[in-house]
Structure 1
Amino acid sequence: MEYNFSIIVPVYNRPQEIDELLESLIKQTYQKTFEIIIVEDGSKDSSEEIIKKYSDKLDIHYFFKDNSGAGASRNYGMQRANGNYFIILDSDVIVPKQYLQEVEKALNKNFTDAFGGPDAAHSSFTSLQKAINYSMTSVLTTGGIRGKKKAVGKFQPRSFNLGLSKVAFEKTNGFSPMKVGEDIDLTFRLWENDFETQLIEKAFVYHKRRSTIKQFFKQTFAFGTARPILNKKYPETAKITYWFPSLFILGIDFSIIMAFFGYTIFSKLYGVYFLILFIHSLFENKNLKVAFLSLVTTLTQFYGYGLGFLESKFIKK
């Protein structure tokens, strides 16, 4: 099959990120032509001047629209794209030079109408960004569901690095109006329409994510609130594992209370877990500071997601 790739990137007040992303796309080793669709989602800090720098180096198209959220902006871009296979990227990613080659190679070997790729930490990232990446991708924290080969079950692509055929887009109408969890919602609708998804492990991107603990907490809290909504909308997809972050943080609170009464076995078990986590992060990142920060970001992730899940499940209706 001949692929005509259209890369769709929504952006909101992040011109510097777009600059870094486009610079990385110039360096692609992929020999065939591809287009880039930048959709400015009502930004006050416009990316237009940045994009003009690349107009003679890339086949790039810029659109400005009223703010409506990332999902609607992605749909807007796909509706205006010329390709037959769309690649959705977040503005805060950097693309390795072999990315498009790996996508085409994997699709030629095993075609699916949608795919997802993992993310990694670039050497230029701050220690906190590397720690956040570890917490979001480690098998010890998320079970590898965000792009590790050993993840169980069918892979659910995430919108920071997602591929979608034009046929599948036209059948599903793309992303729903959901503000959070819209990528998982799309995956479920793809499955309902008999489209297959896959993980292309070598089609990874460097994903900066949030740069402060507060921002990371807010992001993971939003992820947590989305899951009960998705479970209600698609009850056949609900799993007990989605409760784990909430049970984890409730267990921490319980272990602290019990420690006051002299029962320290529970807090010791948590201590062993975090010791293993520290050692694993140190082994993965080869950096003592990142390993310490991984403890902070993992706690932030569990409390953000867990509290968001509980609020959405029992409070917000």
Structure 2
Amino acid sequence: MFFSIIIPLYNRPQEIKELLETLVLQTYRNFEVLVIEDGSVNDAEQIVASFMDKLNLRYFKKVNEGQGFTRNFGFQHAKGDYFIIFDSDCLIPVDYLDIVNNSLATNYLDAYGGPDGAHTSFTPTQKAISYSMTSPFTTGGIRGNKKGIGQFHPRSFNMGVSRQVVEKVGGFIITRLGEDIEYSIRIHTAGFKIGLIPDAIVYHKRRTNFVQFFKQLHFFGRARINISKFFPKELKAVHFFPAVFTLGVILAIIFNLLQWQIAILANGILVIFILLIFFHAWWKNKSAKIAFLSIIAAFTQLTAYGIGFMQDFWKRIILNRS
């Protein structure tokens, strides 16, 4: 199978360099790479040019439209049988394409998603963020997991679709705010087979500090409400958990300030949650430092998502504003 790897890029020249370095090492060689500069001010033209003799590589520049429509641009110019989408902040294991090719040959999927993990080169903060985004004690436990709530929805940091899917369903119709989930739902609705390839893992850097992580997860919380405007039935009880958690933290602070007896119960619940995160993260990463940072990451993830979710729930569902 001939794969077209599509990578939207926006002001991240160093990231694309590291990503392309991992693609050079792929053991499966029947693929092309399309790097699409989405209106970047700090472009990567010279960096990409240095890989032209190492990869079947094409480089494009276009006006800024966001990652969803930039992927559509890639679909239009791709030559492959199957299109693979990566975020520019991913590192790809050397056997990734071999794993995908063998999996599709054994159990063909019209679209697939793969999980993400933390690379050994990641900083402790990045490893803590990666833990939080995949932890069973946060909403990360339902991402990239075929045992999650409802249908499995591939995420666009590690996602593949066949040419037939694009020809029938089209591309992304929203460019941000949950565009990958919306696209997955339309693929499901069109009757195509979607699934997880568990071994098709990528190393996803995400954000390098907690301020950036907070902004990203606040955006994700808003995205969940945006998806519900297209597909109301996709707003499920589990998606309210970060908002409930955030309100619980706020109430716990108020109870303690007012010295109410119920503060003892609230503090006990939070302590149990903190201990679960700490010891599970320590067991997963074999590092007390990462385990401590994972507590911060988990609280950042849940409160940022919860605030973004409540903000747009109030504005777009209660007040019905666009």
Give the corresponding residue for 1:288. Answer: 288
Cα RMSD (Å) of the superposition?
1.2
How many Å separate the matches in 2 of 1:174 and 1:211?
A: 30
Give the corresponding residue for 2:135. Answer: 138
Q: Would you say the 8 A contact 2:146–2:152 is kept in 1? A: no
Q: CA deviation at 1:139?
A: 1.2
Q: CA deviation at 1:158?
A: 0.5
Among 230, 233, 237, the residue aligned to 1:236: 233
Q: CA deviation at 1:110?
A: 1.4
2:27 counterpart of 1:29:
yes
Q: Would you say the 8 A contact 1:84–1:166 is kept in 2? A: yes
Q: CA deviation at 1:149?
A: 5.6
Q: Tell me which amino acid in the other structure corresponds to 1:273.
A: F
Give the corresponding residue for 1:246. Answer: 243
Over residues 106-152 of structure 1, what are the superposed CA-to-partner deviations in whole Å (9 max), with x where a residue is unaligned? 11121111110111100110011000000001111125222246434
Over residues 128-179 of structure 1, what are the superposed CA-to-partner deviations in whole Å (9 max), with x where a residue is unaligned? 1000000001111125222246434321110100001111112222112241
Give the corresponding residue for 2:312. Answer: 312
Give the corresponding residue for 1:222. Answer: 219
User: What is the correspondence of 1:73-112 to structure 2 with a 5 Å cutoff?
Assistant: 73-112=70-109
Equivalent position SS for 2:40: coil
Q: CA deviation at 1:238?
A: 2.2
2:248 counterpart of 1:261:
no
Equivalent position SS for 2:208: coil
Over residues 249-277 of structure 1, what are the superposed CA-to-partner deviations in whole Å (9 max), with x where a residue is unaligned? 11122223233212211220111111011
Q: Would you say the 8 A contact 1:161–1:205 is kept in 2? A: yes
Give the corresponding residue for 1:176. Answer: 173
Q: CA deviation at 1:192?
A: 1.3
Give the alignment's TM-score, normalised by structure 1.
Answer: 0.96
- With 302-311 and 174-183 compared, the bigger mean Cα shift is at 174-183
Give the alignment's TM-score, normalised by structure 2.
Answer: 0.95
Over residues 8-60 of structure 1, what are the superposed CA-to-partner deviations in whole Å (9 max), with x where a residue is unaligned? 00001111111101100111111x42100000011111111111111111000
Give the corresponding residue for 1:185. Answer: 182
Q: Would you say the 8 A contact 1:115–1:157 is kept in 2? A: yes
How many Å separate the matches in 1 of 2:35 and 2:275?
A: 43
- Segments of 5+ residues of structure 2 without an aligned counterpart are none
Give the corresponding residue for 1:115. Answer: 112
Q: Would you say the 8 A contact 2:246–2:302 is kept in 1? A: yes
- With 108-117 and 123-132 compared, the bigger mean Cα shift is at 108-117
Q: Which runs of 4+ in 1 moved over 4 A?
A: none
Among 156, 160, 163, the residue aligned to 2:157: 160
Q: Tell me which amino acid in the other structure corresponds to 1:128.
A: T
Q: Would you say the 8 A contact 2:144–2:155 is kept in 1? A: no
Q: CA deviation at 1:229?
A: 2.1
- With 251-260 and 132-141 compared, the bigger mean Cα shift is at 251-260
Equivalent position SS for 1:91: coil
- Segments of 5+ residues of structure 1 without an aligned counterpart are none
How many Å separate the matches in 2 of 1:12 and 1:253?
A: 36
Q: Would you say the 8 A contact 1:137–1:148 is kept in 2? A: no
How many Å separate the matches in 2 of 1:95 and 1:85?
A: 17
Q: Would you say the 8 A contact 1:144–1:150 is kept in 2? A: no
How many Å separate the matches in 2 of 1:71 and 1:299?
A: 29
How many Å separate the matches in 2 of 1:246 and 1:178?
A: 25
Q: Would you say the 8 A contact 1:85–1:166 is kept in 2? A: yes
Equivalent position SS for 2:142: coil
Equivalent position SS for 1:220: helix
Q: Tell me which amino acid in the other structure corresponds to 2:5.
A: I
Q: Tell me which amino acid in the other structure corresponds to 1:284.
A: K
How many Å separate the matches in 1 of 2:313 and 2:162?
A: 34
- With 71-80 and 105-114 compared, the bigger mean Cα shift is at 105-114
Q: Would you say the 8 A contact 1:38–1:62 is kept in 2? A: yes
In the superposition, relative to structure 1, how do residues 239 and 152 fare at CA in structure 2: closer, same or farther (>3 Å)? closer
Identity level (%) = 47
Q: Would you say the 8 A contact 2:35–2:58 is kept in 1? A: yes
Would you say how many aligned residue pairs link Structure 1 and Structure 2? 314
Q: CA deviation at 1:287?
A: 1.1
